[in-house]
Structure 1
Amino acid sequence: MRRSFRTGLVLAAVGTLLAGCDSAPEPDALFPLAAGLEWQYRVTTRPHGEDPRDSRLTMSNVERGYFAGEEDILIRRNQHGTRYYIAEREDGLYRVAVKSVAQTVPIMDQPPVRILPRPVETGQRWRAPAHTYLLGRARTFISDHAPGNTIDLDYHIEATDAEIEVPAGRYSDCVLAVGRASFHLDAETGFAASDVPIEQREWYCPGVGLTRLSRDERLTSGDRTITGGRIEIVLTGAPG
């Protein structure tokens, strides 16, 4: 099964638009790029053995324009002011840079991080870097085994016809992208050698974009000095 990004996606907002502009998402877009759109999410973090914690996430499409040699780069911003630079290329959508409020210039992703391939096809595979969020220990161990706290997730498109219900509504014909990694801890960490299974599941729905994300880091050692947990992000307010 196949799903292509709309041909007119790149032309949805020509030039640089202000964040305050009122735009509607392309009806078939799995990752709407029009400036002026905003998404509201609930983020639930469940560290193993602890009570869940809820927080809110807002993502806004701020503007589109020239950046780092490419035309029509989208700038997305969260409520904390962090900016994400998104490029649409022939083979997919990529995050090419990130800029926090503490940084004077954007930091380029080396290499760019693929968000979704183009076209989207069941079984298609790619690799993308990710951070570990919930693996913890009484003393730090992660930096010795994953430089920069980064691992590589091996993604594949599991479905292009998924149905999902979140607080923002019920959606169909969604794309489900699944990323997995096996993070190896050897005996040098002070414990028996083991593999940490990490899985991230992302649902992208037509005209809406990212609708739900779940992240599992499952390891819990016998003495509970290394623990994992789960993060879930669900859409509570859709654009348009």
Structure 2
Amino acid sequence: MINTIHQQLPKLLLLATAISLLSCSKSEIDSSDYFPLKPGKAWVYEVETEMKDPEIHPTITLSTDRKINFDGETTWVRRSADGVEYYIRRDDTGIYRVASRLDNQEQAQLDPARRYIFKNPIQVGTTWEALTVPYLVRHPNEFPYHLKNSHKAIMTYRIEALNQEVEVPYGKFTDCIHVQGTASIKIFTDPVNGFSDVPLVSNEYYCKGVGLVKFDREETVPGYAMTGGKLSYNLISVK
């Protein structure tokens, strides 16, 4: 009997290991469920802001235009209605951007490093960094009035919560991931405040099977010589 048990023990250990690995894989969250890349799909967002800026339109459309072989690897091309294409890949580390292209550019421009949309593991506390610029800070009486070409910052993204409930015009969703990004830039705001650290904060909500349903960006500027503001995208339709 003892010999029989010893003979079966390796098989039992292998079986236990297989079951353990299976249960672990099932418990892991697949980031692709929250950022669908199926070519042909489009997401339309209602844009809300208190800023009076002709460059900000009432709606914006983002789409997965095509799946290609780019630089030897499978890549999905996400396109914005304003004529910008983003080259997206995914692997065991997460979902990330590797290049971008404007309509007036013949070839995509490679990013200096991966720009993650999601970084694995998908769990509260996972962080990553990416370059950002101020989108809403303005010199109202100067030209150019925006700072996106002159100031850059490293934004730290963090998965703040899972299973979040989010309601937008397109519907109410319960299985959503909340990602928050924080950064700051130092700028001369006015003679009274001098140089100030201006916070750049984004909050993104990705829902299972749908993708990005809500995006908020806030850039608060002290003083009177410069302005900031808040911008929100809320999903209104998926095509």
TM-score by length of 2: 0.79
Structure 1 unaligned segments of length 5 or more: list them. Answer: 10-28
1:97-148 deviations in Å (ceiling 9; x for gaps) = 11111111111111121111122110111111112111111336976xx865
Pairing 1:216-231 to 2, within 5 Å after superposition: 216-221=218-223, 224-231=224-231
1:1-43 deviations in Å (ceiling 9; x for gaps) = x75217xx5xxxxxxxxxxxxxxxxxxx100011121111112
Q: What amino acid is aligned across from residue 96 of structure 2 in structure 1? A: Y
Q: What amino acid is aligned across from residue 234 of structure 2 in structure 1? A: V
State which structure, 1 or 2, has the greater radius of gyration over its C-alpha atoms: 2
Matched with 1:38 is 42
Matched with 1:26 is none
Aligned-residue CA RMSD (Å) = 2.4
* Cα pair 1:142 1:149 within 8 Å, conserved: no
Aligned residues: 209
Task: Find the aligned partners of 2:137 and 2:41 in 1 and give their Cα distance.
Answer: 34
Task: Find the aligned partners of 2:149 and 2:133 in 1 and give their Cα distance.
Answer: 10
Which of structure 1's runs of 4+ aligned residues deviate more than 3 A?
A: 50-54, 139-143, 146-149
Matched with 2:59 is 56
Find out whether 1:69 has 2:75 as its counterpart. no
Percent identity, aligned pairs only, is: 32
Matched with 1:88 is 90
Which has the bigger relative contact order, CA under 8 A and spacing at least 6? Answer: 1
In structure 2, do the counterparts of structure 1 residues 66 and 149 end up closer, same or farther at CA, with 3 Å as the change threshold? same
Q: What amino acid is aligned across from residue 109 of structure 2 in structure 1? A: I
Task: Find the aligned partners of 2:77 and 2:53 in 1 and give their Cα distance.
Answer: 35
1:137-173 deviations in Å (ceiling 9; x for gaps) = 1336976xx8653221111110011110000000012
Matched with 1:129 is 131
Secondary structure in 2 matching 1:226: coil
Q: What amino acid is aligned across from residue 87 of structure 1 in structure 2? A: R
Q: CA deviation at 1:211?
A: 0.5
Q: What amino acid is aligned across from residue 167 of structure 2 in structure 1? A: E
Task: Find the aligned partners of 1:219 and 1:229 in 2 and give their Cα distance.
Answer: 8
Task: Find the aligned partners of 1:179 and 1:80 in 2 and give their Cα distance.
Answer: 23
Pairing 1:1-240 to 2, within 5 Å after superposition: 4-5=29-30, 29-47=33-51, 50=52, 55-70=58-73, 72-137=74-139, 138-139=141-142, 148-185=150-187, 192-221=194-223, 224-239=224-239
Q: What amino acid is aligned across from residue 174 of structure 1 in structure 2? A: C
TM-score by length of 1: 0.79
* Cα pair 1:136 1:225 within 8 Å, conserved: no
Bigger helix fraction = 2
Structure 2 unaligned segments of length 5 or more: list them. Answer: 1-26
1:205-237 deviations in Å (ceiling 9; x for gaps) = 00000000000001131xx21110011011000
